[in-house]
């Protein structure tokens, strides 16, 4: 027979049982959404993120490519997913800062609708000109542009993208006027630069360094605020006299708003530990990137700061959401 004095202890144990029965996170595979097609630089970044998370958390992390509408389809899907840590995504300035400003109904707000988990990798762009121009550095580019307002054409991968905004920021910081020529991707813009149909591009390091080293285009600077470790021979725009020129390029891991802080902390630690491994560093370098560890708090601050800058840049162009 159970004595009366034992009943409170038994009751307490019964009440505690459901909580103890809850499986520890992660108890199953995690899905990492890449909002772009397979095979590109973003897909590569996502697959490296998946590897770091899987290695650090001890569960499979599968990549789910959900491409379309400038990255908004996959990004909106993640924003609307359960905040349980089992659905995250490869995030970038294009998906979270540019696209929400360029689409009338993207289905999400790029900062407030997400949990900032971890920055992953950072890249840089290069300011390059056609080699036929009498321009060898940033100050000569500024002087030439001021002497020939709106006569220098710069190409980008499309209106509102990072390559476009780098040019807008350059004009703001230098007081110059360049004419923007949007293309359907970076490759045709680069082809027209080589052909001399346009004169300037602000293109990713990984996308343009081959033509630079082949002498087909001339690199004036990297857009990173410090010299790029993969090409330290190229000076920065800032060290050539253009203050506050910085539009960070990065890939990161984000999830739906409301993921519990302990889960965010575990994913952040898994990413940061993965970024210390020599093999990961080598694979990032092969893709033109460098490790970019941070805390969730620092990442959230970066996103809020960059949102304001992107809003200012897009507003200055007069671009309207479509």
pLDDT reading at 16 higher than 50: no
Q: Can you give the pLDDT at residue 22?
A: 57
pLDDT of 10 higher than 60 = no
Q: Closest by alpha carbon to 33, among 62, 59, 64? A: 64
Cβ(224)–Cβ(233) below 8 Å: no
Report residue 70's pLDDT band, with 50, 70 and 90 as the boundaries. confident
More confident site: 14 or 53: 53
Please name the helix (run of DSSP H) or strand (run of DSSP E) that holds residue 311, with its range, or none.
Answer: helix 296-317
**Based on the number of CB atoms within 10 Å of its own CB, is 200 exposed (0-12), middle (13-18) or buried (19 or more)?**
buried
Q: Please say if the pLDDT value at position 131 is more than 70.
A: yes
41-57 vs 278-286: helix crossing angle, rounded to 10: 170
- Per-residue exposure over 267-306, b if at least 16 CB sit within 10 Å of its own CB, e if not: bbebbbebbeeeebbebbeeebbbbbbbebeebbebbeeb
In which element (H, E) is residue 120 found?
A: strand 114-123
Residue 116's pLDDT band (cuts 50, 70, 90): very high
How high is the pLDDT of residue 11? 45
Share of the chain above pLDDT 70, in %: 93
The DSSP code for 237 is: T
Q: What is the mean pLDDT of residues 33-41?
A: 90
């Amino acid at each position: 027979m159970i004595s009366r004095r034992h009943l409170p202890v038994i009751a307490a144990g019964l009440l505690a049982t459901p909580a103890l029965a809850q499986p520890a996170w992660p108890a199953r595979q995690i899905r990492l959404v890449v909002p772009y097609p397979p095979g590109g630089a973003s897909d590569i970044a996502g697959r490296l993120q998946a590897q770091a998370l899987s290695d650090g958390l001890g569960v499979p992390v599968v990549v789910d490519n959900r491409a379309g509408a400038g990255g908004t389809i996959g990004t909106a899907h993640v924003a609307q997913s359960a905040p349980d840590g089992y659905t995250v995504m490869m995030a970038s300035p294009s998906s979270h800062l540019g696209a929400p400003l360029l689409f009338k109904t993207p289905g999400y707000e790029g900062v407030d609708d997400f949990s900032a988990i971890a920055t992953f990798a950072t890249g840089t762009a290069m300011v390059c000109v056609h080699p036929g121009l009498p321009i060898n550095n940033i100050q000569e580019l500024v002087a030439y542009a001021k002497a020939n307002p709106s006569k220098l054409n710069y190409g980008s991968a499309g209106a509102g993208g990072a390559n476009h905004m780098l040019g807008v920021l350059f004009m703001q910081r230098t007081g110059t006027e360049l004419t923007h020529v949007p293309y359907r991707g970076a490759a045709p813009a680069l082809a027209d630069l080589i052909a001399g149909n346009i004169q300037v591009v602000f293109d990713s390091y990984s996308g343009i360094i081959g033509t630079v080293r082949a002498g087909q285009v001339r690199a004036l600077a990297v857009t990173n605020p410090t010299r790029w470790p993969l090409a330290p021979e190229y000076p920065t725009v800032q060290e050539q006299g253009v203050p506050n020129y910085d539009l960070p390029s990065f890939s990161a891991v984000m999830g739906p708003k409301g993921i519990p802080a302990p889960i965010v902390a575990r994913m952040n630690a898994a990413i940061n530990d993965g970024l210390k491994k020599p093999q990961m560093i080598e694979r990032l370098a092969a893709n033109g990137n460098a490790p970019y560890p941070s805390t969730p708090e620092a990442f959230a601050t970066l996103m809020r700061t960059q949102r304001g800058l992107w809003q200012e840049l897009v507003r200055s162009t007069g671009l309207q959401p479509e």
